[in-house]
Amino acid sequence: STVKPDISRERSAELYEKSKTYFPGGVNSPVRAFKSVHGTPLFIQKGDGCFIWDADGNQFIDFCASWGPLILGHNNSAVREKVIEAMQNGMSFGAPTALENQLAELILKNNKYIRKLRFTSSGTEAVMSAVRLARGYTKRDKIIKFEGCYHGHLDSLLVKAGSGLVTFGETSSAGIPKSFADETIVVPLNNIQAVEEAFEQFSDQIAAVIIEPVPANNGLLLQTQEFLEFLRRICTKNKSLLIFDEVISGFRVGFEGAAGYYNIYPDIITYGKIIGGGLPVGMYGASEEIMGMISPDGPVYQAGTLSGNPVAMAAGIAQLTELSKSNFYKDLNNKTFEFTESIQRYATAKNYKFKVFTIGSIFWFAFTDRESISNADEIDASSMEKFKIMHRELLNRGVYLGPSGYEVGFVSSTHSKIELEKAKRAIFESLDIVFRG
Ligand code: PMP
């Protein structure tokens, strides 16, 4: 393979010059700024199925999927029609609507791990609320989190968080009072001893252990079943709550998310963007007893003007109806497995130091020869230079990955065999260039 000339980014570059005058870094969320890959960020004009088009008219097979929520691809007609139908009746009331009931029923009927829920408008809000709920319920303050897990940008959890921060070489954010960070204990993933030590030191102060059961914000750091079961046991033993942050894994590795995949009952689960099919929705759920702590039933306050917004609920109803159909996940996961397997076979045959890690329809390209990576420390930071080359070569071959080697990719139901074959060819050629120049 030969290095391809760069695609035109003229129009994107113009838009970026403008956007830099309006927004810090020219963007409304940091990882979009292409800081760790080549060139100016692409401004996206439209999406359809598995394709996106940028402002210069370049077409890409998209594996970013708006960072996960577009499991049915871009501009899904069922979601779009339901949204338009809802919008014809007005966009927000700040009063209850039947649509909230419908979406809640669809979720609770198909998920045995939660009994009551509340909708929010983002994943960050869902996690922030879940942490407050755990603290209110246990009357304790400390939270254990894991290095390499990202839980949104709430103060108490922005400590050694995922992608954006690792990419920018920061371990925390400015503007967080030390006293807040002091309530957060950070331990390495997949390390029983570290968690035991934290409990020994702070046992009766720990409100909750929060984990992404499928850590997908700092590479894909798959945990063992034993480790997740250990967390369940140690939380129960110490009367601390176990929070699964399933903003990525929920409705992604299966309708019941990672809880269902591993069959582990956390005390609180947070979900996010995938519920809204591209519109802003988050949610947290738990048992009736725990959720009974939430205002107005209980003393833990949590609210939102746009929570349960009818347009977002309509999108959720349409999207989750598709996901609840039999064989939806089986087909999607099988397709993803075939895709990632053949990429791995190619790399192995060529002796490239490259692994594809995968679960459900999530995948991560890692420049490593380790058989598994379950801990942030096991990622070789210098390998990100290779990702940077690959990212550029893939864009020049019509394949769009999220602009950081710490980010995972997502396959949607609209990635057909034809597009996956095309994407594979582009990936093979890009790997050849990364490893052989
Ligand atoms: N938790 C996890 C596991 C996430 O991956 C994210 C964002 N990708 C969040 C929380 C925050 O969600 P949001 O960006 O919607 O606030």
Q: Ligand 1 mean position to 246 CA, how many Å?
A: 9
CA–CA distances in Å: residue 394 to residues 94, 218, 343: 45, 21, 14
C-alpha distances in Å from residue 429, one per residue of 267, 343, 410: 46, 11, 20
- 143, 220, 248, 270, best to mutate for ligand 1 pocket (most atoms within 8 Å of CB): 248
Q: What is the pLDDT of residue 34?
A: 96
Site to probe by mutation for ligand 1, drawn from 120, 127, 252, 406 as the one with most ligand atoms within 8 Å of Cβ, is 127
Determine the atom of ligand 1 nearest the C-alpha atom of 272: 15
Q: 3-state secondary structure string, 369-433?
A: CCCCCCCHHHCCHHHHHHHHHHHHHHHHCCEECCCCCCCCEECCCCCCHHHHHHHHHHHHHHHHH
Number of continuous H segments (helices) and E segments (strands) in the chain: 14, 14
Q: Beta strands of 102-159 (E only): which ranges?
A: 116-120, 142-146
* Eight-class DSSP state of 172: B
Residues belonging to the active site:
150, 245, 273
How many A from CA of 146 to the centre of ligand 1?
A: 15
CA distance readout (Å), 23 to 17, 26, 29, 43, 300: 11, 5, 10, 14, 35
Ligand 1, atom nearest to 273 Cα: 15
Token pair belonging to 348: 């192995």
Return the pLDDT at 170.
43
Is residue 406 within 8 A of residue 162, CB to CB? The reply is: yes
Task: Give the integer Cα–Cα distance in Å for 376 and 14.
Answer: 37
Ligand 1 site-directed mutation target among 31, 153, 155, 247, most atoms within 8 Å of CB: 247
CA of 149, closest atom in ligand 1: 3
Distance in Å, CA 5 to ligand 1 centroid: 35
Query: Three-class SS of residue 335?
Result: helix
Position in ligand 1 atom list of the atom nearest CA 270: 1
282 burial type by CB count under 10 A (0-12 exposed, 13-18 middle, 19+ buried): buried
pLDDT of 162 reads 46
Mutate to test the pocket of ligand 1, among 31, 124, 253, 307 (most ligand atoms within 8 A of CB): 124
Q: How far is the CA of 347 from the centre of ligand 1 (A)?
A: 31
Q: Which domains does the chain have, with CATH numbers?
A: 10-63+328-436 (3.90.1150.10), 78-323 (3.40.640.10)
* Atom of ligand 1 lying closest to residue 217 CA: 5
Please tell me the distance between residue 150's alpha carbon and the centre of ligand 1 in angstroms.
Answer: 7
Contact 189, 243 (CB under 8 A): no
Q: Is the bond preceding 310 in cis, omega lying within 30 degrees of 0?
A: no
Cα-to-centroid distance, 151 and ligand 1 (Å): 5
Q: Mapping DSSP to helix (H, G, I), strand (E, B) and coil, where does residue 142 land?
A: strand
What is the structure's pLDDT at 368? Answer: 96
- Distance of CA 111 from the midpoint of ligand 1 (Å): 21
pLDDT tens per residue across all 437 residues of the chain: 788 899 999 999 999 999 999 999 999 999 999 999 999 999 999 999 999 999 999 999 999 999 999 999 999 999 999 999 999 999 999 999 999 999 999 999 999 999 999 999 999 999 999 999 999 999 999 999 999 999 999 988 887 644 443 343 344 688 888 888 889 998 999 999 999 999 999 989 999 999 999 999 999 999 999 999 999 999 999 999 999 999 999 999 999 999 999 999 999 999 999 999 999 999 999 999 999 999 999 999 999 999 999 999 999 999 999 999 999 999 999 999 999 999 999 999 999 999 999 999 999 999 999 999 999 999 999 999 999 999 999 999 999 999 999 999 999 999 999 999 999 999 999 999 999 98
Taking CA atoms only, the protein residue closest to ligand 1 atom 11 is 152
Q: Which atom of ligand 1 is nearest to the CA of 249?
A: 3
Measured distance CA(399)–CA(420) in Å, rounded: 10
Q: What is the 123 CA–ligand 1 centroid distance (Å)?
A: 5
Ligand 1 atom index nearest CA of 67: 8
Q: Which residue is closest in CA terms to ligand 1's atom 7?
A: 152
Q: Which residues line ligand 1 (CB under 6 A)?
A: 67, 122-124, 127, 150-152, 212, 217, 245, 247-248, 272-273, 282
Distance CA 315, CA 308 (A): 11
pLDDT of 156 reads: 86
Nearest CA to ligand 1 atom 15: 123
Q: Which value does ipTM take for this structure?
A: 0.99
| Six token digits for residue 253 | 């590795």
How many of the other CB atoms lie within 10 Å of CB of 325?
A: 10
